[in-house]
Structure 1
Amino acid sequence: MQLVRQNEKKWTPRCRAVLTVLLVAALGSACAAQSSAPPVGAHGAHGPAGKAKPKPGPAGSLSAYAEKVKRTQAQRAAAAAKWGLTRTPLAAPPPPAAKPEITTRKGFEVEDGESLPPVFTTVPVKERIVFLTIDDGAEKDPDLLQMMSELQIPYSAFLSDYVISDNYGYFKKMQDRGVSLHNHTLNHRYLPGLSYSEQEREICDQQTKLEERYGKRPRLFRPPYGNYNGDTLRVAQSCGVTAVPLWAAEAFPDHMEWREADQDLHPGDIILTHFRGRAEWEGSMPDMIRRVMQTVTDKGYAVAKLEDYV
């Protein structure tokens, strides 16, 4: 299928400069994580050995950002070794000043003439970034929380109440670490087989539960199995949903599955996986992260935060 990509903006010289600095910093950190600039202090305005003090403004801001990326990559390199990754995950570029316009993917429409939340599998971007999303909430592996925090890999969680209700606190810890929690219905039912009112209970009641538990009403919603109809989107919109991200690839501990015919990643692709463990998989959640990050990194992509773009 042809992906819909609209309103792609031309890169300005400053944008190119940011990306160049980012790339150099990310590559340099993998080889020389220990380097850092000497402080300006008692040596005066020019610092040690007469070197000029960095000037304030855009150049200084870029330098500070590059140093931040460098430090982050050094920390990631250490975490990657600890968690058994063969390569350090790449650094994502800074989020855009304005989010891209997202439209429903061609072939995923339900009805013409209605303004409904867009359904998409890929975010329209040019950068080599992808987005990681994890569904349902059945497995509550504490190693996942620690691993993702130490690797500083962003991800988004789409939660179903029937599997998270035995341990809401696990997902509060996740939220406290910067993860956004979104709606995956109360009971993970096949929505097109339900009436409007039944779908309303599944979607809107989960909106309310998540807001009561975690203090924020989700903007994003993923229908179970990726199945929906016009009522699904109308109900979701009625209780605060603004977008419906599906997926372009799915990750398991031992392999990847692809939606696209070329069996590959593309800029802006959304990757799906699940909160699962050894009881259902040939591996743990950290095993799954190792697999998906090996694939993403080997293909030259970084993982970015979905909510910065949607």
Structure 2
Amino acid sequence: MADKTCVVYDTADDNVITELKREEDSTGKQVMLTFDDGPGKALPEILDILKKENAEAMFFWQSRLLHQKRPWKRVLEEGHVIGSHTRGHPNLAALNEEEQFRELLYSKMKIEKITGQAVKYFRPPFGQYNEHTITAANRLGMEIVMWKIASLDWELKEEPLKIIEYVQENLQDRAIILLHELEQTVKILPELIRIIKAEGYEFCLL
């Protein structure tokens, strides 16, 4: 069973981003949707929903899954952002400094080679990182993006409505929301977006 105490992620680490910056001219409430572990089979459906609901998102991709036939052009054309989620999704905290650097470097290089777009953002797999991760990201000019609200969607295949419940109960201004490219997430995504909008939030990017 999913542990609800793990939904909200709180850290005092200034080396990582967990929430949107408040723009001086912004008066409304904002959140950012993020999707990890793609690009996968659920991506086209996720993009269809985001387009219909006029919502932008950030995608953190494993570069080993990215090839020319994936709809990466559509992701960029529709206003979304692609970030790195390493090459093969290891626990970076278990790797040495050079191994971590290679994971980030090769992922960034492959995504940039295929898309032609600079990769500015990075999310560590499992949310695990250490000082070597921070150093590697800095060397490569990438910012580390974590989250404020974890939907726990990866644990809720049999109870997808709880994804909505966990996010809605913990909504807060400027929160970054962690989702994944999963079948159960696709099922609840339209309703989740509508609920977030009904709560007075707009979807923004970093």
Taking structure 1 as the reference length, the TM-score comes to 0.54
Counterpart for residue 106 of structure 2: 205
- The 5 Å alignment of 1:162-201 reads 162-165=64-67, 168-201=69-102
Counterpart for residue 216 of structure 1: 117
- 1:297 equivalent to 2:197? Answer yes
* 1:247 alignment partner, one of 114, 138, 147: 147
Q: Give the C-alpha shift of residue 291 in structure 1.
A: 3.7
- Can you list the C-alpha shifts for 1:186-220, whole angstroms capped at 9, x where unaligned? 00100010011111111011110011000112111
Counterpart for residue 84 of structure 1: none
- Can you list the C-alpha shifts for 1:114-165, whole angstroms capped at 9, x where unaligned? xxxx312112426311011111113344232222223211111111023334
Q: Give the C-alpha shift of residue 284 in structure 1.
A: 5.5
- The 5 Å alignment of 1:9-158 reads 106-108=11-13, 118-125=15-22, 127-137=28-38, 138-158=40-60
Counterpart for residue 42 of structure 1: none
**Range with bigger deviation, 135-144 or 250-259:** 250-259
Q: Give the C-alpha shift of residue 106 in structure 1.
A: 4.8
- In structure 1, C-alpha distance between the alignment counterparts of 2:116 and 2:188, rounded to whole Å: 29
| Paired-residue identity, % | 25
- In structure 2, C-alpha distance between the alignment counterparts of 1:268 and 1:179, rounded to whole Å: 18
Contact 2:60 2:84 in 1 (8 A): yes
Structure with more relative contact order (C-alpha pairs < 8 Å, separation 6 or more): 2
Q: What is the number of equivalent residue pairs in this alignment?
A: 184
- Kindly name which structure, 1 or 2, has the bigger radius of gyration based on alpha carbons: 1
- In structure 2, C-alpha distance between the alignment counterparts of 1:284 and 1:122, rounded to whole Å: 21
- Which structure shows the bigger proportion of residues in strand conformation? 2
Q: Give the C-alpha shift of residue 227 in structure 1.
A: 0.8
- In structure 1, C-alpha distance between the alignment counterparts of 2:41 and 2:76, rounded to whole Å: 16
Task: Supply the RMSD in Å over aligned alpha carbons.
Answer: 2.4
Taking structure 2 as the reference length, the TM-score comes to 0.79
Q: Which runs of 5+ in 2 are unaligned?
A: 1-9, 154-159
Read off the aligned partner of 1:162 and give its amino acid letter: R
- In structure 2, C-alpha distance between the alignment counterparts of 1:177 and 1:192, rounded to whole Å: 34
Specify whether residues 205 and 146 from structure 1 end up closer, same or farther in structure 2 by C-alpha distance, changes over 3 A only.
same
